[in-house]
Amino acid sequence: MKFTLSFTVVFSCVICYLLAPNVLFDLKMVILLFVAGMLVTGSASAINQSIEKDTDALMKRTADRPVASGRVSQNEAYIFAGITGIIGVLMMYLFFNLSSAILSAFSLFFYAFVYTPLKKVSSIAVLAGALPGALPCFIGWVAGTDLISPFSFTEVGHVSNIAGWALFGIQFLWQFPHFWAIAWVAHGDYSKAGFKLLPADKGPTKFTAIQTILYSIVMLPVGVIPKYLGLTGNISFWIVIVLNLFLIVQCVRLYKDMNVKAARLVMFSSYIYLPLVYLSLLADKVHFI
């Protein structure tokens, strides 16, 4: 199930659920959302590992995965993925709403059957992967707001539904500097497996570094939208700005140094950025009476 990756994704989903204006903390609902999210995300990860079993076996960082190493057969992985995916989507429908269930099913399908095969075709796979990678944020928002149409821009608890899309946007944009830093560090392994994940065909280049800078800059205005829509307050506003500037600095350093050490700094900075941003937004949520 790629527990660490799945946990990170579901963490964002739960935080965005709790950020919904009309949601108060309820441990039972949080646990249900966490379990459902882990099942859906784990299902997508299992399908991904089944499809990529041969290429995973070629790379040092993935060779020990269950399907690649032969501990679990491809068919067993597909059965596991089918059971967990169906149960997860059903839980979203039964305990939350139809919109969140449909979005969960779409995210699972897109990650497993669009993003996964695209990785060997073109670097556009990173864009394709960023969609299901960020959708859990919006799924959490929709689960909390009970919106029949997630594309509605009506107000929820005096806050525009655009806030939900802003939460999606933060994680969507974050994935580009984050994933390109990983692809930079693991370029040798990825090339061996035939994955085309960096924006430049020639591998780690100045162009890739510039892209990380541009995306990290665009993250800044998107990150402060929740404050201007009245969802969060001033404290998180400044925390987001400081964290974003720190990430931009690391991306600029990557452009200057052009080495694996600098790429690792971008990667680790992005790991720090996301949970701190979402936790600060939740801690600074504006409650309406």
Mean pLDDT in order along the chain per 10 residues (289 residues) = 87 94 91 96 93 84 85 92 97 95 95 87 84 93 78 63 90 93 83 73 84 95 93 94 96 94 94 95 81
> What is the distance between the terminal CA atoms of the chain, rounded to a whole angstrom?
41
Check if the beta carbon of residue 33 is closer than 8 Å to that of residue 16: no
Architecture of domain 3-283 in this structure: Orthogonal Bundle (1.10)
- What are the sequence ranges of the domains in the chain? 3-283
List, in order, residues 6 or more apart from 129 with CB less than 8 Å away.
111, 115, 118, 119, 175, 179
Q: Quote the pLDDT of residue 289.
A: 45
Length of the chain counted residue by residue: 289
The per-type count for the chain, helices as H runs and strands as E runs, is: 14, 2
Q: What is the pLDDT of residues 174-203, one digit of tens each?
A: 999 998 998 888 877 777 777 777 776 677
Residue 242 CB-density burial (10 A; 0-12 exposed, 13-18 middle, 19+ buried): exposed
Give 232's strand partners.
Answer: 285
Mode of pairing for the β-strands spanning 155-156 and 159-160: antiparallel
DSSP state of 203: S
Judge if pTM exceeds 0.75: yes
Give 155's strand partners.
Answer: 160
Side chain identity at residue 285, one-letter code = K
Distance in angstroms (rounded) separating the CA atoms of residues 29 and 14:
10
Q: Quote the pLDDT of residue 154.
A: 62
Q: Quote the pLDDT of residue 56.
A: 81
